[in-house]
Chain A
């Protein structure tokens, strides 16, 4: 999937950073997950990822109560722009679902499945309605019932790559094309939880990011973000890494160098 050129648009005043330091929501206890209800498995339904979504007027073939879904949206939509729900509203939804918008990856999964791809840190009305239709939800209870299915452990590699890319895109600030390094360090463990990537690799990479003094890495590009995952899939053993023939971004080359130096220093002791 090639990166799409995003038109420069204004980003409204909203707390864009969901993860990391500045969010003001407090943490919540997890409610017990409810059983029953329609459970949706990991999404190979591609329609939920299309940009701009279709209009919500499909009453005849719809399996949900559109009015109810719409009401839910209105509860969380932004006061100044009723067509979008930003992070404030999404946090409210999370509260109701009993999940922590700061730490819980299921929020991102949900938004991804609903197809909130148009702009970072928000979901628009069309996307919401399309998403509700696809996921067959129109009430908080149904959302709650959905929670277990938001486990990305079920996804195959290709689908997960798509989700992983969404994580980056969704967390950008406005029209920026990159993420701040600190955000990346916080975000990676959340997106790549549950053994998607060997924990040692994840930890050492974050350590590398933290300690590198290279100014050019204060911002991380989408290419670097995606390459990290592909790199983890393809290069399990760092000893086999050959920089001279590698097409991996220089960030990865320097990470490997960092690890080699660490190993050498470790041996000296």
Chain B
């Protein structure tokens, strides 16, 4: 009937429309539905009717436009329902235990959502024009607002408390109704102002939860730390963090994840960090000592979560590795104290350092994920250990001799990849050495010995080592070494050419020469021994050939370095004696059964005592006494007389007669001098560029420029004073702290 009325253009009056249509058909029915507990949808017919009523009431011409009233009544309806029905129901359930309240709240919230939905549908028209026109909250927003003000604000504290209790129960291992909590959390999320805001959630639930979490884990921490070992404690930490993370995913808002995590990390990690690291019997040091890589890895990952969480751990690692390295040094010290003879060779010691380094390289890579703090720790500790010299021979020397073993033939028996690996590792150890220039000096001497005595097992290996040193230290560092190899290569290239020249002459000697460029090689004495005529002739041929090629070069013969094979006949047997050039010259002197005493030999050969004595010793007092000494004892005296040993015999045909090398070993003073020079050069270079500089800055610059050794500040000062004395620099008149460059 009413519909017909409208069709006829009858106006709907407010109360009429409200009470008879809307309230009766929509609101009452809706409320009833909710009370019954199931969502009975309105049938399309009903819905359209109600909707149309609203529509009409809102589109009627004024003064019959009931938009404002409808909007108001919408709100009032909701409010009243909440006040009269919902809130009492909730209050009824409070004090009966958290879950019961929460369930009721969930129920009521669900209902409200339904109510809000339908009312919105019915009054949709208001949303389209009236609400927009007057910038009012939408129907939905208004509905939420009412729920918040009437219900939520009154119940939130209890609800929060209930949730926190449940969460703590779950932490203690109980099973809880997660979906229930999730639903309530959604309620909190929706209570934020302006819809998208999480304000209510954050203030009313999250913050109390964070406080409770903090308290909870503080208690746990106290409990665990007293009883558990560090590894066990950390396992618990790991577990707790995983659980909390899962919890957020399951029923909290994602925004809480980092906050909860930080609280937990703070309480159970940060606050006891040092305690855990230093715990007796299970702290970081103990774990390292026992190679507990899994526990260390866990510790690493957990502490990396904290701000600056890894530095304390890295410091302990550094100190531990240092003590391990020091133990190697002490072992060497003990060996020497125990009376072991001092040699420049201690492969056991060097290898122990290499092994230690390799081990912890691996540990850092695998257990500490190659983290830079731990790499630095390893570097720092080795810089301390490697520079602790014990006994007469420096570690620089020991390391160089170690290389010598690897590179010389008859040293370590290694295949190619083992050689490369060994060299690689020794260069790593070398990188920690302060006195790199000392190493270079010794290395060059040993390289020279290998090359000149053909004792190098592989040219490629030599080049490889030099290349590795070059990568570490730059071209300047290895230029002399490369020069040495180059000299030999050039020699090889030119050998066939010179051999052809030799063939043109008939010297009855097969002869080859190795030319060494001065400056690349160590300095050798050049004894001016008197050579037999045939040898002299060879020298002349070579000199002529050489000078034609290189007019500007001057040759100095270093007979102390040469080798010779002497075919000798004792009785009926002939032997090939492999000797040094000087030994060959001596042997030649004793042809035809001649006898000479020591002083005569000195004159004939033009050699001094220092050179001749070991020479004669090697030929008359060693294993192969090819020369007979009278009197026969083990010491060469100037009164001794010598002659060829007619009775000499051996089973072998080829005999090598060794001799102590005459060349000087490395000269420590020279290294010192080179350093003084290098410091001065650096000072002059810097002052020339800067013209005027403060003392401390000059020192710092000098130190940064010197990469192969580290002088003491006092030594640098002494060089500065020397330069002042030589008028390269002056002290500034205005400032006693500054220097001026004097052009």
* Residues of A bordering B, CB below 8 Å: 1-3, 5, 177, 221-224, 227, 230, 234, 243-250, 253
Contact of B736 among A2, A5, A221, A234 (CB under 8 A): A234
Write the nearest CB–CB distance from B387 to chain A, whole angstroms. 21
Give CA–CA (A249, B742) in the complex, Å: 19
Given A234-B736, A245-B696: A250 and B731 interface contact (C-beta under 8 Å): no
Given A223-B731, A244-B713: A250 and B696 interface contact (C-beta under 8 Å): no
- A–B pairs, 22, beta carbons within 8 Å: A2-B727, A3-B730, A5-B727, A221-B721, A221-B725, A223-B721, A223-B731, A224-B721, A227-B736, A230-B736, A234-B736, A246-B695, A247-B695, A247-B717, A247-B731, A247-B738, A249-B717, A249-B721, A250-B714, A250-B717, A250-B718, A250-B721
Which B residues from 707 to 726 make CB contacts under 8 A with A?
A: 713-714, 717-718, 721, 724-725
Write the nearest CB–CB distance from B402 to chain A, whole angstroms. 37
Q: For A246, give the chain B residue with the smallest CB separation.
A: B695
Residues of A within 8 A of B718 (CB): 250
Give CA–CA (A253, B714) in the complex, Å: 9
Residues of A within 8 A of B460 (CB): none
Question: Does any Cβ of A come within 8 Å of B739's Cβ?
Answer: yes
Question: Does any Cβ of A come within 8 Å of B348's Cβ?
Answer: no
Q: For A223, give the chain B residue with the smallest CB separation.
A: B724
Residues of A within 8 A of B540 (CB): none
Residues of A within 8 A of B730 (CB): 2-3
Residues of B within 8 A of A224 (CB): 721
Residues of A within 8 A of B721 (CB): 221, 223-224, 249-250
Question: Does any Cβ of A come within 8 Å of B737's Cβ?
Answer: yes
In the complex, given contacts A245-B695, A250-B718, what are 11 additional A-B residue pairs having Cβ atoms less than 8 angstroms apart?
A: A2-B742, A3-B727, A177-B725, A227-B731, A230-B736, A247-B731, A248-B736, A249-B721, A250-B717, A250-B721, A253-B714
Give CA–CA (A40, B696) in the complex, Å: 44
Q: For B713, give the chain A residue with the smallest CB separation.
A: A244
Give CA–CA (A227, B695) in the complex, Å: 14
Closest 3 CB pairs of A and B: A247-B695, A223-B724, A2-B730
Give CA–CA (A253, B720) in the complex, Å: 14
Q: For A5, give the chain B residue with the smallest CB separation.
A: B727
Q: For B725, give the chain A residue with the smallest CB separation.
A: A221
When the two chains form their complex, are residues B739 and A247 in contact, meaning their CB atoms are under 8 A apart? yes
Residues of B within 8 A of A247 (CB): 694-695, 717, 731, 736-739
Residues of A within 8 A of B724 (CB): 223
Give CA–CA (A244, B737) in the complex, Å: 12
Q: For B738, give the chain A residue with the smallest CB separation.
A: A247
Give CA–CA (A250, B699) in the complex, Å: 14
1/0 per position for B678-715, CB-CB distance to A under 8 A?
Answer: 00000000000000001110000000000000000110
Give CA–CA (A34, B312) in the complex, Å: 81
Residues of B within 8 A of A245 (CB): 695-696
Residues of A within 8 A of B733 (CB): 1
Q: For B718, give the chain A residue with the smallest CB separation.
A: A250
Write the nearest CB–CB distance from B640 to chain A, whole angstroms. 42
Give CA–CA (A1, B742) in the complex, Å: 12
Give CA–CA (A177, B727) in the complex, Å: 12
Residues of B within 8 A of A253 (CB): 714, 717
Give CA–CA (A247, B720) in the complex, Å: 9
Residues of A within 8 A of B694 (CB): 247
Residues of B within 8 A of A3 (CB): 727, 730
Write the nearest CB–CB distance from B563 to chain A, whole angstroms. 44
Give CA–CA (A3, B725) in the complex, Å: 8
Q: For B717, give the chain A residue with the smallest CB separation.
A: A250
Give CA–CA (A246, B378) in the complex, Å: 33
Residues of B within 8 A of A249 (CB): 717, 721
Give CA–CA (A234, B739) in the complex, Å: 17
Write the nearest CB–CB distance from B306 to chain A, whole angstroms. 35
Residues of B within 8 A of A222 (CB): 725
Give CA–CA (A234, B695) in the complex, Å: 16
Residues of A within 8 A of B695 (CB): 245-247
Residues of A within 8 A of B713 (CB): 243-244
Residues of A within 8 A of B739 (CB): 247
When the two chains form their complex, are residues A223 and B696 in contact, meaning their CB atoms are under 8 A apart? no
